Amino acid sequence: MIYLDNAATSWPKPPEVLRAMSEFLELAGGNPGRSGHRLSVGAGRIVFGARQAVADLFNADDPSRVVFTLNATYALNLALRGLLRPGDRVVCSGIEHNAVMRPLRALERDGVQLTVVPCAPDGSLDPAELARAVLPGTRLVVLVHASNVTGTILPVGEAAAIAHAAGGLLLVDAAQTAGVLPVDVQALGIDLLAFTGHKGLLGPPGTGGLVIGQRVDTAELEPLARGGTGSQSQRQEQPDDLPDKYESGTPNGVGIAGLAASIRFLTERGVESIRAEETAAARALSEGLAEAPGVTVYGPADMERRTAVVSFTVAGRRVSEIGQRLDEEFDVLSRVGLHCAPAAHQTIGTFPEGTVRLAPGRFTTREEIRRTVEAVREIAKG
Binding residues vs another protein (CB under 8 A): 32-37, 40-41, 44-45, 47-49, 51-52, 61-64, 229-234, 239, 241-244
With respect to another protein, which residue has the nearer C-beta, 69 or 148? 69
CB 207 to another protein: min, Å: 16
With respect to another protein, which residue has the nearer C-beta, 29 or 127? 29
C-alpha distances out from residue 56 to 26, 48, 263, 292, Å: 27, 12, 10, 43
Cα–Cα distance for residue pair 99/105, rounded to 1 Å:
11
In this structure, the strands spanning 169-173 and 113-117 are unpaired
CB 215 to another protein: min, Å: 17
With respect to another protein, which residue has the nearer C-beta, 217 or 329? 217
With respect to another protein, which residue has the nearer C-beta, 237 or 304? 237
Cα–Cα distance for residue pair 108/89, rounded to 1 Å:
10
Cα–Cα distance for residue pair 92/245, rounded to 1 Å:
27
Residue 340 falls in the annotated catalytic set: yes
CB 62 to another protein: min, Å: 7
Q: Which of 18, 340, 351, 374 is catalytic?
A: 340
Are 181 and 274 spatial neighbours (Cβ–Cβ below 8 Å)? Answer: no
Exposure string of 86-106, with b = 16+ CB inside 10 Å and e = fewer, is eebbbbbbbbbbbbbbbbbee
CB 254 to another protein: min, Å: 17
In this structure, the strands spanning 2-3 and 192-196 are unpaired
State the helix-helix crossing angle for 253-269 and 38-57, rounded to 10 degrees.
40
Q: Which residues contact 127 (CB under 8 A, 6 or more apart)?
A: 155, 158, 159, 162
The strand pairing partners of 181, in sequence order, are 178
With respect to another protein, which residue has the nearer C-beta, 9 or 35? 35
CB 182 to another protein: min, Å: 24
Active site residues: 340
